[in-house]
Structure 1
Amino acid sequence: MSDPISDAERLATAQVALNRRGDVLRDLGRVFADNGHELYLVGGPVRDALLGRFDPDKNDLDFTTDARPEQMQRVLRGWGDALWDTGIEFGTLGVGKGEDRLEITTFRADTYDKVSRNPEVRFGDNLADDLVRRDFTVNAMAVRVTADGPTEFLDPLDGLSALRDGVLDTPAAPEVSFGDDPLRMLRAARFVSQLGFTVAPRVRRALEEMSSQLSRITAERVAAELDKLLLGADPVAGLDLMVDTGLGEVVLPEVGAMRMAIDEHHQHKDVYQHSLTVLRQAMDLEGADGPDLVLRWAALLHDIGKPATRRHEPDGGVSFHHHEVVGAKMTRKRMRELKYSKQMISDVSQLVYLHLRFHGYGDGRWTDSAVRRYVTDAGPLLTRLHKLVRADCTTRNKRRAARLQANYDDLERRIQDLAAREDLARVRPDIDGNEIMKILGIPPGPQVGQAWNHLKELRLDRGPLDHDEAVEELVRWWNERGGPRV
């Protein structure tokens, strides 16, 4: 994707963008210059400024310097409001100044042990050695920072040309770069999603040949990159790169497994492409609230149970009975292995489990009880479930698509009507646990929970009961169970 903007225009635009942080840049540049040290802005802020996507309120500022860690501490102790030295062994010091959080790292010339991704830290003597060890040339550009703020643009590895062409290439041979740190392979897919770039041919070859080395990376770091990929502007492009090169087989094999073979006798949708379409359509429904990571994960994984449940029927059709149940279990397993939080795992797997429920709605044939259960089972995920179900309509049959959307419009209207009459957001029994114990004359224990659940089921089936009716139903249930007569 060659960009028509000239390099001179791009550099001028970047200068204007970075000058929006001119106060902190000039102040920090003066401190380092006064102490005889060089300071450079590097990495993402420089790249984003050149791309016209620099956000002064969101972009972190990363710097590199010839000052050693102990020298940085002396220089910054009187300047910053706070210092963080958690990365000091790697030459990185965090500094807070007002609302700014800055990260400054001594020039590095690391080597890696080739087993883990931990570097054998060696400090470098010049900017060029530091830049050549970075992941991609578009992230290996720098801007000199002095008392005058951002001044000279430095690009020894021609990252600007790669940025102009929208290509990800490595400063060193990709085999060396990815061998040093395999996480960079997943970062390539992430940048494809975030920036709309493609990968250089030699980078793609290295990804295909070295994808298995991703197993060296911790689950937490993999999950962080996958989240950033999914939250990008074009996650489908990043996912395609992962699946096509074998990276997905290492970190998210269930997604690639949806590319099931289709033969001439058993026609059905390609589940992988369908899932990517659902992801795109779910993104279109996010609205002003911005990217929704839970919704995007659910859209991607909603059909991962299909390969395991696929059956060829005698009539030539294909079925996937209970794929939502199997898919929810697979989702929980994969997300646990990636060390996601319990809440994240619960939310995504529940959406996968519920995504097919609506298709039993037909033409509005659900009872009010069924509508209540749909809302109750979705709980706080209901809005996301609405979006997921609508996004899951990918049929090319316009009449069928219109009917599905009309049916869901009808379901949402029924939910609103019931909610106007009942507290659907918090369906609870009409009698609480304390009153249950008082009416039945029983102490706290499992029987109270059983009685509570019985009353909740009645509430779901029949809607709100008045107090006397609820007491009558509770007593009837208790006596039918053979408890002491009430």
Structure 2
Amino acid sequence: MQSVATALTRLGDLAATPTVSRLATAFHESGHELALVGGPVRDAFLDRPINDLDFTTSATPDQILQIVKPISDAHWDIGRAFGTIGARIAGEKVEITTYRSDSYDGQTRKPEVVFGHRLEDDLLRRDFTVNALALRLPGLTLVDPANGIDDLLAGVLRTPISPEISFGDDPLRMMRAARFTAQLGFTLDVDTAEAMEAMADRIRNISAERIGDELSKLLCADDPHVGIELLVDSGLCDRVMPEIPALRLEVDEHHHHKDVYQHTLTVLDQAIGYEKSRGSFDGPDLIVRLAALLHDIGKPGTRRLEPGGVVSFYHHDLVGAKLAKKRLRALRFDNDTISAVARLTELHLRFFGYTEGAWTDSAVRRYVRDAGDQLERLHILTRADVTTRNRRKADRLGFAYDDLEQRIKELAEQEEMAAVRPDLDGEQIMAVLGVGPGREVGEAYRYLLEQRLDDGPLGEEEATRRLTSWWAERGR
């Protein structure tokens, strides 16, 4: 946390940049108020990087367009109905929004947009006091009508007005509360936490797209663990992703197993650690984090209490993959993300057979083939899934996966395994067999692929010999 003087100096430096100074001058000369608002002001106090530049103004959307057109490289009005105009000024993207005082009616999923007249009123309609901060431009006057600076100093999330009214106006703010605890490391004040629990069912008024987007932002935060716990403890998760609280399985006095819910949170933490340490991605990887969160959601539906105090979860990987696909579709995630997360969930147990006996080269090739372009993420998820406190067991699994990765690397170098395909393509298969396009060509292709996986590169001559023999054995 920066001192007020240091933060104001940082904001002053920001105001002197070409983008902000041009905007401030243009709005001042037009006779309209302009203020830098929300996240940039908050992050200046928290000594966090300032990325998005958001402004609020007394000008209407039409007036904003008139002001920014002469000074912008480009502009767009996709958010015009909500009072927001976007522009690129001096190479930076900015958003400028007319003062607002709108709210939700508690029934529909869209707000009634009402433009306001005062900066202070606009700030008080925002989600949390730490985001209800503004810097008037060009005069560099800090505006803090809800005592957000005090809450920043205390590390507390609190709504500027009654949480019941704030969450009633926009129920998605309850999910934002979970996201900001994860991003900023803050805690909720008591009244806000109690209102979230009491009003959790209101989240059903929010569209699936907005919920999915907010969940993605939460998972890409610095510490999503605490945010997920808040969603579960408040009851929100029961409404948006019930598979997660369902992991809190009842403990039977005669049957004992790992706490699946806490295990999942640990896997999420460890996956983030591997994601960062391996350096495989530029920034947070949503697919890795979704897969870590969802990889065991098939366990509640597959749990069986076996004789002798044993608990089994047979096929929870396959069941979980189907559940993950269904939930992510319901939340309107894109098809590529859905497919990747489901595939990782389906494959997350595959490695554990590696420690039970030596895999052949063929088995290693199949592991790579089945993972496809998700291999690196599968490496991360599989390693993260080891949460045993038994150090000897953890080391054994870690060494085994080191060995598997080394074998994959060696085979890839020998065979260019990343592009495993049969030694003959479709055209060659048809020429050898004397057939045209059809089902038989697909069957022949799969046969040659299995041969390739079992024995490595065959060469065109040997592949042709095996294909001819296979075709003859079919009685053709």
TM-score category (smaller protein): over 0.9
State the TM-score, normalizing by the size of structure 2: 0.96
Secondary structure in structure 2 of the residue aligned to 1:474: helix
Match of 1:132 in 2: 124
Aligned with 2:79 (options 71, 87, 93)? 87
Match of 1:70 in 2: 62
Count of residues in correspondence between the two structures: 472
Match of 1:240 in 2: 229
Task: Determine if contact 2:22/2:71 at 8 Å carries over to the other structure.
Answer: no
Deviation at 1:6, TM superposition (A): 4.1
Aligned with 2:249 (options 250, 257, 260)? 260
Aligned with 2:46 (options 44, 51, 57)? 51
Secondary structure in structure 2 of the residue aligned to 1:257: helix
Deviation at 1:81, TM superposition (A): 2.3
Deviation at 1:76, TM superposition (A): 2.1
Deviation at 1:349, TM superposition (A): 0.8
**Match runs of 1:202-281 below 5 Å:** 202-281=191-270
Match of 1:168 in 2: 157
Match of 1:437 in 2: 430
1:80 alignment partner AA: S
Instruction: State the distance in 2 between where 1:15 and 1:284 align.
Output: 36
2:35 alignment partner AA: Y
Task: Determine if contact 1:302/1:351 at 8 Å carries over to the other structure.
Answer: yes
Give the CA RMSD over aligned residues.
Answer: 1.5
Deviation at 1:236, TM superposition (A): 0.2
Instruction: State the distance in 2 between where 1:47 and 1:293 align.
Output: 25
Secondary structure in structure 1 of the residue aligned to 2:71: coil
Deviation at 1:9, TM superposition (A): 4.0
Aligned with 1:193 (options 147, 165, 182)? 182
2:388 alignment partner AA: T
Say whether 1:322 aligns with 2:315.
yes
Secondary structure in structure 2 of the residue aligned to 1:253: coil
Secondary structure in structure 2 of the residue aligned to 1:171: coil
Secondary structure in structure 2 of the residue aligned to 1:96: strand
Instruction: State the distance in 2 between where 1:416 and 1:23 align.
Output: 49
Deviation at 1:15, TM superposition (A): 3.9
| Superposed CA offset, 1:433-455 (max 9, x none) | 00111111101111111110111
Task: Determine if contact 1:211/1:246 at 8 Å carries over to the other structure.
Answer: yes
Deviation at 1:392, TM superposition (A): 0.7
Deviation at 1:10, TM superposition (A): 4.0
Instruction: State the distance in 2 between where 1:463 and 1:111 align.
Output: 64
Secondary structure in structure 1 of the residue aligned to 2:137: strand
Task: Determine if contact 2:102/2:113 at 8 Å carries over to the other structure.
Answer: yes
Aligned with 1:141 (options 133, 149, 153)? 133
| Superposed CA offset, 1:218-255 (max 9, x none) | 11111111111001011000000000001101111101
Say whether 1:105 aligns with 2:97.
yes
Aligned with 1:121 (options 108, 113, 125)? 113
2:348 alignment partner AA: H
Secondary structure in structure 1 of the residue aligned to 2:250: coil
Say whether 1:39 aligns with 2:34.
yes
Task: Determine if contact 1:82/1:95 at 8 Å carries over to the other structure.
Answer: yes
Task: Determine if contact 1:38/1:67 at 8 Å carries over to the other structure.
Answer: yes
Match of 2:288 in 1: 295
Task: Determine if contact 1:117/1:182 at 8 Å carries over to the other structure.
Answer: no
Instruction: State the distance in 2 between where 1:426 and 1:87 align.
Output: 44
Secondary structure in structure 2 of the residue aligned to 1:115: coil
Instruction: State the distance in 2 between where 1:256 and 1:11 align.
Output: 43
Deviation at 1:263, TM superposition (A): 3.1
4+ runs deviating over 3 angstroms: 5-16
2:269 alignment partner AA: R
State the TM-score, normalizing by the size of structure 1: 0.94
